[in-house]
Structure 1
Protein backbone atom coordinates (compact mmCIF):
# COMPACT_ATOMS: atom_id res chain seq x y z
CA UNK A 1 0.00 0.00 0.00
CA UNK A 2 1.20 3.50 -0.80
CA UNK A 3 -0.26 6.94 -0.26
CA UNK A 4 0.70 10.03 -2.25
CA UNK A 5 -0.11 13.74 -2.09
CA UNK A 6 -0.29 15.73 -5.35
CA UNK A 7 -0.68 19.52 -5.59
CA UNK A 8 -3.12 21.45 -7.74
CA UNK A 9 -1.55 23.52 -10.48
CA UNK A 10 -2.26 26.74 -12.28
CA UNK A 11 -1.14 26.71 -15.90
CA UNK A 12 -0.72 29.24 -18.73
CA UNK A 13 -0.43 32.07 -16.18
CA UNK A 14 -1.33 34.83 -18.60
CA UNK A 15 1.11 34.90 -21.52
CA UNK A 16 2.64 31.45 -20.93
CA UNK A 17 0.12 29.37 -22.89
CA UNK A 18 1.00 25.64 -22.66
CA UNK A 19 4.44 26.63 -21.33
CA UNK A 20 4.19 27.96 -17.75
CA UNK A 21 2.67 26.35 -14.69
CA UNK A 22 2.91 26.50 -10.92
CA UNK A 23 2.03 24.12 -8.11
CA UNK A 24 -0.33 25.34 -5.39
CA UNK A 25 -0.81 24.31 -1.76
CA UNK A 26 -4.11 22.56 -2.51
CA UNK A 27 -3.95 18.77 -2.70
CA UNK A 28 -5.47 15.49 -3.74
CA UNK A 29 -4.49 12.48 -1.64
CA UNK A 30 -4.45 9.06 -3.30
CA UNK A 31 -4.02 5.59 -1.82
CA UNK A 32 -3.15 2.62 -4.03
CA UNK A 33 -3.36 -0.97 -2.74
CA UNK A 34 -2.31 -3.89 -4.99
CA UNK A 35 -4.93 -6.68 -5.14
CA UNK A 36 -5.16 -10.07 -6.81
CA UNK A 37 -7.43 -8.87 -9.61
CA UNK A 38 -9.81 -6.15 -10.74
CA UNK A 39 -9.81 -2.39 -10.22
CA UNK A 40 -11.88 -0.65 -7.57
CA UNK A 41 -11.87 3.15 -7.44
CA UNK A 42 -13.27 5.27 -4.65
CA UNK A 43 -13.38 9.05 -4.24
CA UNK A 44 -13.77 10.02 -0.58
CA UNK A 45 -15.34 6.59 0.14
CA UNK A 46 -17.83 6.71 -2.75
CA UNK A 47 -17.46 4.19 -5.57
CA UNK A 48 -16.51 5.79 -8.88
CA UNK A 49 -17.72 3.75 -11.84
CA UNK A 50 -15.31 4.48 -14.68
CA UNK A 51 -14.28 2.49 -17.70
CA UNK A 52 -10.64 1.56 -17.26
CA UNK A 53 -9.74 3.57 -20.37
CA UNK A 54 -11.11 6.69 -18.62
CA UNK A 55 -9.54 6.01 -15.23
CA UNK A 56 -6.45 8.23 -15.34
CA UNK A 57 -5.00 6.96 -12.09
CA UNK A 58 -5.23 3.34 -13.23
CA UNK A 59 -3.88 4.19 -16.68
CA UNK A 60 -0.92 5.99 -15.11
CA UNK A 61 -0.20 3.00 -12.86
CA UNK A 62 -0.40 0.65 -15.84
CA UNK A 63 2.01 2.82 -17.87
CA UNK A 64 4.62 2.55 -15.13
CA UNK A 65 4.24 -1.21 -14.72
CA UNK A 66 4.40 -1.69 -18.49
CA UNK A 67 7.50 0.50 -18.80
CA UNK A 68 9.47 -1.46 -16.21
CA UNK A 69 8.14 -4.81 -17.47
CA UNK A 70 6.34 -5.82 -14.28
CA UNK A 71 3.04 -7.71 -14.22
CA UNK A 72 0.19 -6.90 -11.85
CA UNK A 73 -3.13 -8.32 -10.72
CA UNK A 74 -5.41 -5.47 -9.71
CA UNK A 75 -5.61 -2.36 -7.57
CA UNK A 76 -7.83 -0.65 -5.07
CA UNK A 77 -7.52 3.08 -5.77
CA UNK A 78 -8.85 5.50 -3.16
CA UNK A 79 -8.77 9.28 -3.57
CA UNK A 80 -9.28 9.67 0.16
CA UNK A 81 -9.09 13.46 0.26
CA UNK A 82 -10.06 15.42 -2.83
CA UNK A 83 -9.54 19.19 -2.55
CA UNK A 84 -8.77 19.91 -6.22
CA UNK A 85 -12.06 20.55 -8.04
CA UNK A 86 -12.64 18.99 -11.46
CA UNK A 87 -12.94 21.04 -14.66
CA UNK A 88 -11.99 24.27 -12.93
CA UNK A 89 -8.53 24.88 -14.41
CA UNK A 90 -6.56 23.63 -11.40
CA UNK A 91 -4.97 20.53 -12.90
CA UNK A 92 -7.26 17.85 -11.50
CA UNK A 93 -6.33 15.46 -14.33
CA UNK A 94 -2.64 16.12 -13.68
CA UNK A 95 -3.09 15.13 -10.01
CA UNK A 96 -4.54 11.80 -11.15
CA UNK A 97 -1.80 11.15 -13.69
CA UNK A 98 1.10 12.21 -11.49
CA UNK A 99 -0.42 10.51 -8.44
CA UNK A 100 -0.80 7.21 -10.27
CA UNK A 101 2.74 7.36 -11.65
CA UNK A 102 4.33 8.25 -8.32
CA UNK A 103 2.35 5.60 -6.44
CA UNK A 104 3.23 2.89 -8.96
CA UNK A 105 6.90 3.85 -8.94
CA UNK A 106 6.93 3.68 -5.14
CA UNK A 107 5.28 0.24 -5.17
CA UNK A 108 7.97 -0.93 -7.61
CA UNK A 109 10.82 0.33 -5.47
CA UNK A 110 11.53 3.59 -7.26
CA UNK A 111 12.77 2.12 -10.54
CA UNK A 112 11.97 5.21 -12.62
CA UNK A 113 13.80 8.52 -12.48
CA UNK A 114 11.98 11.82 -12.03
CA UNK A 115 12.60 12.58 -15.71
CA UNK A 116 11.12 9.25 -16.79
CA UNK A 117 8.04 9.84 -14.63
CA UNK A 118 7.66 13.32 -16.09
CA UNK A 119 7.79 12.02 -19.64
CA UNK A 120 5.15 9.35 -18.95
CA UNK A 121 2.95 12.04 -17.43
CA UNK A 122 3.48 14.33 -20.41
CA UNK A 123 2.67 11.56 -22.88
CA UNK A 124 -0.67 11.07 -21.12
CA UNK A 125 -1.56 14.74 -20.64
CA UNK A 126 -0.30 15.93 -24.03
CA UNK A 127 1.53 18.99 -22.67
CA UNK A 128 3.78 19.48 -19.63
CA UNK A 129 2.51 22.78 -18.17
CA UNK A 130 0.39 21.06 -15.47
CA UNK A 131 2.15 17.74 -14.93
CA UNK A 132 5.63 19.29 -14.61
CA UNK A 133 4.83 21.53 -11.61
CA UNK A 134 2.54 18.85 -10.11
CA UNK A 135 5.46 16.42 -10.06
CA UNK A 136 8.35 18.82 -9.47
CA UNK A 137 6.76 21.63 -7.44
CA UNK A 138 7.22 25.37 -7.80
CA UNK A 139 6.79 27.37 -10.98
CA UNK A 140 8.07 25.61 -14.07
CA UNK A 141 8.71 26.66 -17.66
CA UNK A 142 8.63 23.62 -19.94
CA UNK A 143 8.69 22.48 -23.54
CA UNK A 144 8.47 19.08 -25.22
CA UNK A 145 10.40 17.83 -28.21
CA UNK A 146 10.28 14.33 -29.67
CA UNK A 147 8.73 12.95 -26.50
CA UNK A 148 11.31 14.50 -24.20
CA UNK A 149 10.42 17.26 -21.74
CA UNK A 150 12.84 20.11 -21.08
CA UNK A 151 12.09 22.32 -18.12
CA UNK A 152 13.50 24.96 -15.83
CA UNK A 153 12.31 26.10 -12.41
CA UNK A 154 11.27 29.76 -12.11
CA UNK A 155 12.00 31.63 -8.88
CA UNK A 156 8.93 33.01 -7.12
CA UNK A 157 9.45 35.80 -4.56
CA UNK A 158 8.57 34.77 -1.01
CA UNK A 159 6.15 37.68 -0.62
CA UNK A 160 3.89 36.39 -3.43
CA UNK A 161 0.77 34.43 -2.47
CA UNK A 162 -2.04 33.17 -4.70
CA UNK A 163 -5.70 34.09 -4.42
CA UNK A 164 -7.62 31.17 -5.94
CA UNK A 165 -11.15 32.15 -6.96
CA UNK A 166 -13.32 29.19 -7.95
CA UNK A 167 -16.89 29.56 -9.28
CA UNK A 168 -19.66 26.97 -9.12
CA UNK A 169 -19.59 26.39 -12.89
CA UNK A 170 -17.21 24.35 -15.01
CA UNK A 171 -15.33 25.06 -18.22
CA UNK A 172 -14.20 21.84 -19.90
CA UNK A 173 -10.76 21.75 -21.47
CA UNK A 174 -12.27 20.68 -24.79
CA UNK A 175 -14.66 23.61 -24.77
CA UNK A 176 -11.90 26.02 -23.82
CA UNK A 177 -9.62 24.77 -26.60
CA UNK A 178 -12.47 24.83 -29.09
CA UNK A 179 -12.88 28.61 -28.86
CA UNK A 180 -9.25 29.32 -29.73
CA UNK A 181 -8.21 30.52 -33.21
CA UNK A 182 -6.20 28.23 -35.44
CA UNK A 183 -3.68 30.97 -36.30
CA UNK A 184 -2.36 34.22 -34.83
CA UNK A 185 -0.79 37.38 -36.19
CA UNK A 186 2.91 38.08 -35.80
CA UNK A 187 1.98 41.06 -33.62
CA UNK A 188 0.04 38.87 -31.19
CA UNK A 189 2.86 36.30 -31.04
CA UNK A 190 5.44 39.00 -30.25
CA UNK A 191 3.05 40.48 -27.67
CA UNK A 192 2.96 37.17 -25.79
CA UNK A 193 6.60 36.19 -26.21
CA UNK A 194 7.84 39.52 -24.85
CA UNK A 195 5.52 39.42 -21.84
CA UNK A 196 6.18 35.78 -20.98
CA UNK A 197 9.91 36.50 -21.05
CA UNK A 198 9.60 39.57 -18.86
CA UNK A 199 7.18 37.77 -16.51
CA UNK A 200 9.81 35.14 -15.74
CA UNK A 201 12.57 37.74 -15.38
CA UNK A 202 10.48 39.98 -13.11
CA UNK A 203 9.67 37.06 -10.80
CA UNK A 204 13.30 35.97 -10.73
CA UNK A 205 14.46 39.48 -9.83
CA UNK A 206 11.68 40.12 -7.33
CA UNK A 207 10.28 42.99 -9.41
CA UNK A 208 6.70 42.42 -8.30
CA UNK A 209 5.53 45.90 -9.31
CA UNK A 210 6.17 44.87 -12.92
CA UNK A 211 3.87 41.84 -12.81
CA UNK A 212 0.67 43.70 -13.68
CA UNK A 213 2.21 44.88 -16.93
CA UNK A 214 3.41 41.48 -18.14
CA UNK A 215 0.54 39.02 -17.63
CA UNK A 216 -1.61 40.31 -20.48
CA UNK A 217 -2.33 37.72 -23.14
CA UNK A 218 -3.60 37.60 -26.72
CA UNK A 219 -3.45 33.84 -27.32
CA UNK A 220 -6.17 32.40 -25.10
CA UNK A 221 -7.62 34.77 -22.48
CA UNK A 222 -9.56 37.04 -24.89
CA UNK A 223 -11.42 33.95 -26.15
CA UNK A 224 -11.75 31.90 -22.98
CA UNK A 225 -12.76 34.92 -20.95
CA UNK A 226 -16.09 34.88 -22.79
CA UNK A 227 -16.82 31.53 -21.13
CA UNK A 228 -16.42 32.99 -17.63
CA UNK A 229 -19.21 35.35 -16.54
CA UNK A 230 -18.09 38.46 -14.59
CA UNK A 231 -14.39 37.92 -15.34
CA UNK A 232 -13.84 41.63 -16.00
CA UNK A 233 -15.54 42.63 -12.75
CA UNK A 234 -13.49 40.11 -10.76
CA UNK A 235 -10.20 41.22 -12.32
CA UNK A 236 -11.01 44.91 -11.74
CA UNK A 237 -12.03 44.23 -8.14
CA UNK A 238 -8.76 42.37 -7.55
CA UNK A 239 -6.78 45.27 -8.98
CA UNK A 240 -8.71 47.71 -6.78
CA UNK A 241 -8.02 45.50 -3.75
CA UNK A 242 -4.28 45.69 -4.39
CA UNK A 243 -3.73 42.44 -6.29
CA UNK A 244 -0.37 42.27 -8.05
CA UNK A 245 -1.81 40.68 -11.23
CA UNK A 246 -4.64 38.42 -12.38
CA UNK A 247 -5.11 35.67 -14.96
CA UNK A 248 -7.28 32.70 -15.90
CA UNK A 249 -6.04 29.52 -14.23
CA UNK A 250 -5.51 26.88 -16.89
CA UNK A 251 -8.52 26.83 -19.18
CA UNK A 252 -10.82 28.20 -16.45
CA UNK A 253 -13.20 28.60 -14.81
CA UNK A 254 -10.94 29.45 -11.85
CA UNK A 255 -9.40 32.91 -11.75
CA UNK A 256 -6.13 33.48 -9.93
CA UNK A 257 -4.41 36.57 -8.61
CA UNK A 258 -0.97 37.13 -7.17
CA UNK A 259 -1.27 38.95 -3.86
CA UNK A 260 1.39 40.46 -1.63
CA UNK A 261 1.79 38.58 1.63
CA UNK A 262 1.27 41.82 3.57
CA UNK A 263 -2.06 42.66 1.90
CA UNK A 264 -4.20 41.66 4.87
CA UNK A 265 -7.44 43.22 3.58
CA UNK A 266 -7.47 41.58 0.13
CA UNK A 267 -9.38 38.44 1.11
CA UNK A 268 -12.28 40.19 2.83
CA UNK A 269 -12.53 42.81 0.08
CA UNK A 270 -12.77 40.12 -2.58
CA UNK A 271 -15.25 38.02 -0.58
CA UNK A 272 -17.51 41.07 -0.52
CA UNK A 273 -17.30 41.51 -4.30
CA UNK A 274 -17.64 37.82 -5.17
CA UNK A 275 -20.64 37.46 -2.88
CA UNK A 276 -22.59 39.95 -4.99
CA UNK A 277 -22.12 38.13 -8.32
CA UNK A 278 -24.76 35.95 -9.98
CA UNK A 279 -22.81 32.72 -9.54
CA UNK A 280 -21.39 31.36 -6.32
CA UNK A 281 -17.63 31.84 -5.84
CA UNK A 282 -15.17 30.65 -3.22
CA UNK A 283 -11.83 32.25 -2.56
CA UNK A 284 -8.80 31.11 -0.62
CA UNK A 285 -5.29 32.47 -0.42
CA UNK A 286 -2.59 29.82 -0.63
CA UNK A 287 1.15 29.72 -1.08
CA UNK A 288 2.90 28.11 -4.02
CA UNK A 289 3.89 24.51 -3.39
CA UNK A 290 7.62 24.04 -3.91
CA UNK A 291 7.94 20.31 -3.13
CA UNK A 292 5.70 18.77 -5.78
CA UNK A 293 4.08 15.36 -5.48
CA UNK A 294 5.25 13.31 -2.52
CA UNK A 295 4.77 9.97 -0.81
CA UNK A 296 2.79 10.23 2.42
CA UNK A 297 4.68 8.31 5.09
Structure 2
Protein backbone atom coordinates (compact mmCIF):
# COMPACT_ATOMS: atom_id res chain seq x y z
CA UNK A 1 0.00 0.00 0.00
CA UNK A 2 1.45 3.43 -0.95
CA UNK A 3 2.49 5.45 2.10
CA UNK A 4 0.16 8.35 1.29
CA UNK A 5 -2.78 5.92 1.02
CA UNK A 6 -1.83 4.34 4.35
CA UNK A 7 -2.08 7.75 6.00
CA UNK A 8 -5.77 7.82 5.10
CA UNK A 9 -6.60 4.59 6.96
CA UNK A 10 -9.07 5.30 9.70
CA UNK A 11 -10.41 8.39 8.00
CA UNK A 12 -14.07 8.68 7.23
CA UNK A 13 -16.43 11.44 6.16
CA UNK A 14 -20.13 12.12 5.86
CA UNK A 15 -21.30 14.07 2.79
CA UNK A 16 -24.70 15.69 2.18
CA UNK A 17 -25.70 17.01 -1.25
CA UNK A 18 -28.95 18.73 -2.28
CA UNK A 19 -31.08 18.05 -5.31
CA UNK A 20 -31.10 20.71 -7.99
CA UNK A 21 -33.32 22.01 -10.74
CA UNK A 22 -31.54 23.43 -13.77
CA UNK A 23 -32.67 25.76 -16.56
CA UNK A 24 -35.62 27.20 -14.58
CA UNK A 25 -37.36 27.82 -17.88
CA UNK A 26 -35.32 30.28 -19.96
CA UNK A 27 -31.90 29.84 -18.32
CA UNK A 28 -30.84 26.86 -20.43
CA UNK A 29 -27.50 25.34 -19.26
CA UNK A 30 -26.90 28.44 -17.13
CA UNK A 31 -29.25 28.77 -14.16
CA UNK A 32 -29.75 26.28 -11.35
CA UNK A 33 -31.49 26.12 -7.97
CA UNK A 34 -30.63 23.93 -4.98
CA UNK A 35 -33.62 22.24 -3.33
CA UNK A 36 -34.24 20.65 0.08
CA UNK A 37 -34.04 17.00 -0.97
CA UNK A 38 -30.74 15.30 -0.12
CA UNK A 39 -28.49 12.35 -0.76
CA UNK A 40 -26.15 11.47 2.11
CA UNK A 41 -23.13 9.18 2.03
CA UNK A 42 -20.69 7.88 4.59
CA UNK A 43 -17.24 7.05 3.23
CA UNK A 44 -14.53 5.19 5.14
CA UNK A 45 -11.07 4.24 3.89
CA UNK A 46 -10.17 0.55 3.97
CA UNK A 47 -6.99 -1.45 3.41
CA UNK A 48 -8.29 -3.35 0.40
CA UNK A 49 -8.27 -1.56 -2.97
CA UNK A 50 -11.51 -0.91 -4.81
CA UNK A 51 -14.89 0.08 -3.44
CA UNK A 52 -18.10 -1.34 -2.07
CA UNK A 53 -21.26 0.76 -1.94
CA UNK A 54 -24.20 -0.12 0.29
CA UNK A 55 -27.22 1.72 -1.13
CA UNK A 56 -30.40 2.53 0.76
CA UNK A 57 -33.40 4.28 -0.75
CA UNK A 58 -33.45 5.48 -4.34
CA UNK A 59 -31.31 3.27 -6.59
CA UNK A 60 -31.20 0.34 -4.20
CA UNK A 61 -30.90 -2.83 -6.27
CA UNK A 62 -30.30 -0.98 -9.55
CA UNK A 63 -27.33 1.36 -9.07
CA UNK A 64 -23.83 -0.21 -9.26
CA UNK A 65 -22.25 -1.04 -5.91
CA UNK A 66 -18.66 -1.41 -7.10
CA UNK A 67 -15.92 0.74 -8.68
CA UNK A 68 -18.27 1.75 -11.50
CA UNK A 69 -20.62 3.64 -9.15
CA UNK A 70 -20.70 7.32 -10.13
CA UNK A 71 -19.87 8.49 -6.60
CA UNK A 72 -16.80 6.22 -6.60
CA UNK A 73 -15.60 7.21 -10.07
CA UNK A 74 -16.05 10.89 -9.22
CA UNK A 75 -14.10 10.52 -5.99
CA UNK A 76 -11.34 8.69 -7.86
CA UNK A 77 -11.27 11.41 -10.52
CA UNK A 78 -10.84 14.08 -7.83
CA UNK A 79 -8.00 12.17 -6.14
CA UNK A 80 -6.23 11.76 -9.48
CA UNK A 81 -6.80 15.40 -10.41
CA UNK A 82 -4.76 16.52 -7.41
CA UNK A 83 -2.08 13.87 -7.87
CA UNK A 84 -3.12 11.55 -5.04
CA UNK A 85 -3.44 7.74 -5.23
CA UNK A 86 -6.98 6.47 -4.89
CA UNK A 87 -7.70 4.56 -1.67
CA UNK A 88 -10.07 1.66 -1.22
CA UNK A 89 -13.34 2.74 0.36
CA UNK A 90 -16.56 1.49 1.85
CA UNK A 91 -19.56 3.72 1.19
CA UNK A 92 -23.01 3.72 2.73
CA UNK A 93 -25.42 5.79 0.64
CA UNK A 94 -28.82 7.07 1.74
CA UNK A 95 -30.45 8.38 -1.43
CA UNK A 96 -33.67 10.37 -1.68
CA UNK A 97 -33.12 12.35 -4.91
CA UNK A 98 -35.19 10.71 -7.69
CA UNK A 99 -33.16 9.25 -10.57
CA UNK A 100 -33.77 10.15 -14.21
CA UNK A 101 -36.34 12.81 -13.45
CA UNK A 102 -34.58 16.15 -13.88
CA UNK A 103 -33.63 16.78 -10.24
CA UNK A 104 -29.88 16.58 -10.64
CA UNK A 105 -29.28 13.05 -9.32
CA UNK A 106 -26.18 12.49 -11.45
CA UNK A 107 -24.81 15.92 -10.55
CA UNK A 108 -25.41 15.14 -6.89
CA UNK A 109 -23.50 11.86 -7.22
CA UNK A 110 -20.60 13.66 -8.88
CA UNK A 111 -20.52 16.31 -6.18
CA UNK A 112 -20.80 13.69 -3.44
CA UNK A 113 -17.71 11.92 -4.74
CA UNK A 114 -15.71 15.12 -5.04
CA UNK A 115 -16.72 16.31 -1.58
CA UNK A 116 -15.73 12.91 -0.18
CA UNK A 117 -12.29 13.36 -1.73
CA UNK A 118 -12.07 16.87 -0.29
CA UNK A 119 -12.92 15.61 3.19
CA UNK A 120 -10.63 12.58 3.11
CA UNK A 121 -7.71 14.68 1.90
CA UNK A 122 -8.17 17.47 4.43
CA UNK A 123 -4.75 18.56 5.70
CA UNK A 124 -3.05 16.91 2.71
CA UNK A 125 -4.58 18.74 -0.27
CA UNK A 126 -6.88 21.75 -0.13
CA UNK A 127 -9.67 22.20 -2.68
CA UNK A 128 -10.82 25.73 -3.50
CA UNK A 129 -14.34 26.46 -4.71
CA UNK A 130 -12.86 26.92 -8.17
CA UNK A 131 -11.21 23.49 -7.97
CA UNK A 132 -14.47 21.85 -6.92
CA UNK A 133 -16.48 23.45 -9.72
CA UNK A 134 -13.82 22.71 -12.35
CA UNK A 135 -13.51 19.03 -11.41
CA UNK A 136 -17.29 18.59 -11.18
CA UNK A 137 -17.81 20.23 -14.56
CA UNK A 138 -15.13 18.07 -16.17
CA UNK A 139 -17.00 14.99 -15.00
CA UNK A 140 -20.58 16.16 -15.55
CA UNK A 141 -19.94 18.05 -18.80
CA UNK A 142 -21.71 21.30 -17.88
CA UNK A 143 -21.90 23.33 -14.65
CA UNK A 144 -25.60 24.23 -14.34
CA UNK A 145 -26.49 21.35 -11.96
CA UNK A 146 -23.20 20.91 -10.12
CA UNK A 147 -22.86 24.61 -9.22
CA UNK A 148 -26.04 24.78 -7.09
CA UNK A 149 -25.34 21.30 -5.69
CA UNK A 150 -21.93 22.51 -4.54
CA UNK A 151 -22.80 25.99 -3.33
CA UNK A 152 -26.55 26.11 -2.71
CA UNK A 153 -29.06 28.82 -3.53
CA UNK A 154 -29.58 30.20 -7.01
CA UNK A 155 -26.48 29.96 -9.18
CA UNK A 156 -25.49 31.43 -12.50
CA UNK A 157 -22.80 29.29 -14.15
CA UNK A 158 -20.75 30.01 -17.24
CA UNK A 159 -17.69 28.73 -19.05
CA UNK A 160 -14.49 30.72 -19.67
CA UNK A 161 -11.11 29.82 -21.22
CA UNK A 162 -9.83 29.60 -17.64
CA UNK A 163 -12.58 27.18 -16.62
CA UNK A 164 -16.14 27.32 -15.33
CA UNK A 165 -17.28 30.13 -13.07
CA UNK A 166 -20.32 30.70 -10.91
CA UNK A 167 -22.19 33.38 -9.00
CA UNK A 168 -24.42 32.45 -6.08
CA UNK A 169 -27.47 34.60 -5.34
CA UNK A 170 -29.92 34.64 -2.45
CA UNK A 171 -33.49 33.79 -3.41
CA UNK A 172 -36.35 36.03 -2.27
CA UNK A 173 -38.08 34.50 0.76
CA UNK A 174 -41.42 34.70 -1.04
CA UNK A 175 -40.37 32.13 -3.67
CA UNK A 176 -41.99 28.80 -2.76
CA UNK A 177 -40.82 25.85 -4.90
CA UNK A 178 -43.16 23.00 -5.72
CA UNK A 179 -41.75 19.94 -7.47
CA UNK A 180 -43.96 17.42 -9.27
CA UNK A 181 -42.33 14.04 -9.89
CA UNK A 182 -43.91 11.48 -12.25
CA UNK A 183 -43.50 7.72 -12.14
CA UNK A 184 -41.72 7.60 -15.51
CA UNK A 185 -38.14 8.66 -16.21
CA UNK A 186 -36.36 10.36 -19.10
CA UNK A 187 -32.72 10.16 -20.13
CA UNK A 188 -30.93 13.51 -20.21
CA UNK A 189 -29.11 12.30 -23.33
CA UNK A 190 -32.42 11.63 -25.07
CA UNK A 191 -33.77 15.04 -24.04
CA UNK A 192 -30.65 16.82 -25.29
CA UNK A 193 -30.85 14.94 -28.57
CA UNK A 194 -34.13 16.67 -29.36
CA UNK A 195 -32.52 20.11 -29.30
CA UNK A 196 -31.95 21.77 -32.70
CA UNK A 197 -28.45 22.92 -33.62
CA UNK A 198 -29.78 26.41 -34.33
CA UNK A 199 -32.75 28.44 -33.12
CA UNK A 200 -34.46 31.51 -34.63
CA UNK A 201 -32.94 34.86 -33.75
CA UNK A 202 -36.18 36.10 -32.20
CA UNK A 203 -36.32 33.06 -29.90
CA UNK A 204 -32.77 33.69 -28.72
CA UNK A 205 -33.61 37.34 -27.96
CA UNK A 206 -36.80 36.23 -26.20
CA UNK A 207 -34.86 33.93 -23.87
CA UNK A 208 -32.16 36.48 -23.17
CA UNK A 209 -34.82 38.91 -21.95
CA UNK A 210 -36.60 36.28 -19.86
CA UNK A 211 -33.37 35.00 -18.30
CA UNK A 212 -32.44 38.52 -17.22
CA UNK A 213 -35.94 39.05 -15.85
CA UNK A 214 -35.80 35.72 -14.02
CA UNK A 215 -32.83 36.84 -11.94
CA UNK A 216 -34.80 39.89 -10.83
CA UNK A 217 -37.92 37.82 -10.18
CA UNK A 218 -36.14 35.20 -8.07
CA UNK A 219 -34.11 37.67 -6.02
CA UNK A 220 -36.35 40.75 -5.76
CA UNK A 221 -39.78 40.51 -7.42
CA UNK A 222 -41.51 37.10 -7.25
CA UNK A 223 -44.64 38.66 -8.75
CA UNK A 224 -42.80 38.62 -12.10
CA UNK A 225 -42.13 34.88 -12.08
CA UNK A 226 -44.79 33.92 -14.62
CA UNK A 227 -43.37 36.20 -17.32
CA UNK A 228 -39.82 35.40 -16.26
CA UNK A 229 -40.21 31.63 -16.69
CA UNK A 230 -41.30 31.71 -20.34
CA UNK A 231 -39.02 29.73 -22.65
CA UNK A 232 -38.58 29.14 -26.38
CA UNK A 233 -35.20 27.37 -26.47
CA UNK A 234 -35.73 23.85 -25.15
CA UNK A 235 -39.04 22.91 -23.56
CA UNK A 236 -41.21 22.79 -26.68
CA UNK A 237 -38.58 20.83 -28.59
CA UNK A 238 -38.57 18.17 -25.86
CA UNK A 239 -42.35 18.00 -25.45
CA UNK A 240 -42.75 14.90 -27.64
CA UNK A 241 -40.52 12.90 -25.27
CA UNK A 242 -42.62 13.79 -22.20
CA UNK A 243 -46.20 14.51 -23.26
CA UNK A 244 -47.64 14.30 -19.74
CA UNK A 245 -45.10 16.87 -18.54
CA UNK A 246 -45.86 19.21 -21.43
CA UNK A 247 -49.59 18.84 -20.82
CA UNK A 248 -49.35 19.68 -17.13
CA UNK A 249 -46.89 22.56 -17.55
CA UNK A 250 -49.27 24.07 -20.11
CA UNK A 251 -52.28 23.59 -17.84
CA UNK A 252 -50.50 25.10 -14.85
CA UNK A 253 -49.33 28.12 -16.81
CA UNK A 254 -52.86 28.65 -18.12
CA UNK A 255 -53.86 28.98 -14.46
CA UNK A 256 -51.08 31.59 -13.95
CA UNK A 257 -48.72 29.28 -12.07
CA UNK A 258 -45.02 29.74 -13.08
CA UNK A 259 -44.40 26.12 -14.10
CA UNK A 260 -41.35 24.88 -16.00
CA UNK A 261 -39.70 21.58 -16.84
CA UNK A 262 -37.19 20.73 -14.11
CA UNK A 263 -33.83 20.20 -15.77
CA UNK A 264 -34.18 17.77 -18.66
CA UNK A 265 -37.47 16.52 -17.18
CA UNK A 266 -39.83 14.87 -16.80
CA UNK A 267 -40.35 16.47 -13.36
CA UNK A 268 -41.97 19.89 -13.15
CA UNK A 269 -40.88 22.86 -11.03
CA UNK A 270 -43.40 25.49 -10.00
CA UNK A 271 -41.77 28.67 -8.70
CA UNK A 272 -44.79 29.89 -6.78
CA UNK A 273 -45.09 33.42 -5.40
CA UNK A 274 -45.80 32.52 -1.78
CA UNK A 275 -47.02 29.45 0.08
CA UNK A 276 -50.66 30.18 -0.74
CA UNK A 277 -49.98 30.04 -4.46
CA UNK A 278 -47.96 26.86 -3.96
CA UNK A 279 -50.84 25.21 -2.09
CA UNK A 280 -53.22 26.24 -4.86
CA UNK A 281 -50.91 24.78 -7.51
CA UNK A 282 -50.65 21.50 -5.62
CA UNK A 283 -54.44 21.33 -5.31
CA UNK A 284 -54.82 21.98 -9.04
CA UNK A 285 -52.44 19.11 -9.85
CA UNK A 286 -54.25 16.74 -7.49
CA UNK A 287 -57.57 17.55 -9.12
CA UNK A 288 -56.69 17.86 -12.81
CA UNK A 289 -53.54 15.84 -13.61
CA UNK A 290 -54.11 12.98 -16.06
CA UNK A 291 -51.31 10.80 -14.61
CA UNK A 292 -50.04 10.37 -11.01
CA UNK A 293 -47.52 12.90 -9.71
CA UNK A 294 -45.65 12.97 -6.41
CA UNK A 295 -46.12 16.47 -5.02
CA UNK A 296 -43.26 17.97 -2.98
CA UNK A 297 -43.39 21.37 -1.29
CA UNK A 298 -39.71 22.24 -0.89
CA UNK A 299 -37.43 25.00 0.33
CA UNK A 300 -34.45 26.49 -1.44
CA UNK A 301 -31.30 24.93 0.01
CA UNK A 302 -28.91 27.76 0.88
CA UNK A 303 -25.89 25.77 2.05
CA UNK A 304 -25.07 23.40 -0.78
CA UNK A 305 -22.93 20.32 -0.29
CA UNK A 306 -21.29 19.71 3.07
CA UNK A 307 -18.66 17.32 4.35
CA UNK A 308 -17.65 16.47 7.92
CA UNK A 309 -15.53 13.82 9.62
CA UNK A 310 -17.60 10.78 10.61
CA UNK A 311 -16.52 11.17 14.22
CA UNK A 312 -17.86 14.73 14.29
CA UNK A 313 -20.91 14.25 12.08
TM-score, normalising length: structure 2: 0.87
1:88 aligns with 2:101: yes
The Cα of 1:260 is off from its aligned counterpart by 2.9
The Cα of 1:50 is off from its aligned counterpart by 5.7
Q: Where does 1:219-238 land on structure 2 (aligned, <5 Å)?
A: 219-238=233-252
The Cα of 1:242 is off from its aligned counterpart by 5.8
1:201 aligns with 2:213: no
The Cα of 1:115 is off from its aligned counterpart by 1.4
Counterpart of 2:243 in 1: which secondary structure? coil
Whether the aligned pair in 2 keeps the contact of 1:199 and 1:211 (CA below 8 Å) is yes
- 1:246 aligns with 259
Q: Residues of 2 paired with 1:13 and 1:280: CA distance? A: 22
Any unmatched runs of 5+ in structure 1? none
Structure 1 moving runs of 4+ over 6 Å = none
Any unmatched runs of 5+ in structure 2? 1-11
1:215 aligns with 2:229: yes
- Corresponding residue pairs, total: 290
Q: Residues of 1 paired with 2:86 and 2:246: CA distance? A: 51
Counterpart of 1:85 in 2: which secondary structure? coil
- 2:183 aligns with 168
Whether the aligned pair in 2 keeps the contact of 1:241 and 1:270 (CA below 8 Å) is no
The Cα of 1:269 is off from its aligned counterpart by 3.3
CA-based RMSD of the aligned residues comes to 1.9
1:28 aligns with 2:32: no
Q: Deviations over 1:156-210 (max 9, x none)?
A: 2101111100001111011001111011121111111111111112323x22222
Q: Where does 1:127-166 land on structure 2 (aligned, <5 Å)?
A: 127-146=142-161, 148-166=163-181
Counterpart of 1:170 in 2: which secondary structure? coil
- 1:123 aligns with 138
Q: Deviations over 1:43-83 (max 9, x none)?
A: 1185643673x42211211122113322233111221x211
The Cα of 1:94 is off from its aligned counterpart by 0.7
1:12 aligns with 2:23: yes
Q: Residues of 1 paired with 2:247 and 2:85: CA distance? A: 54
TM-score, normalising length: structure 1: 0.91
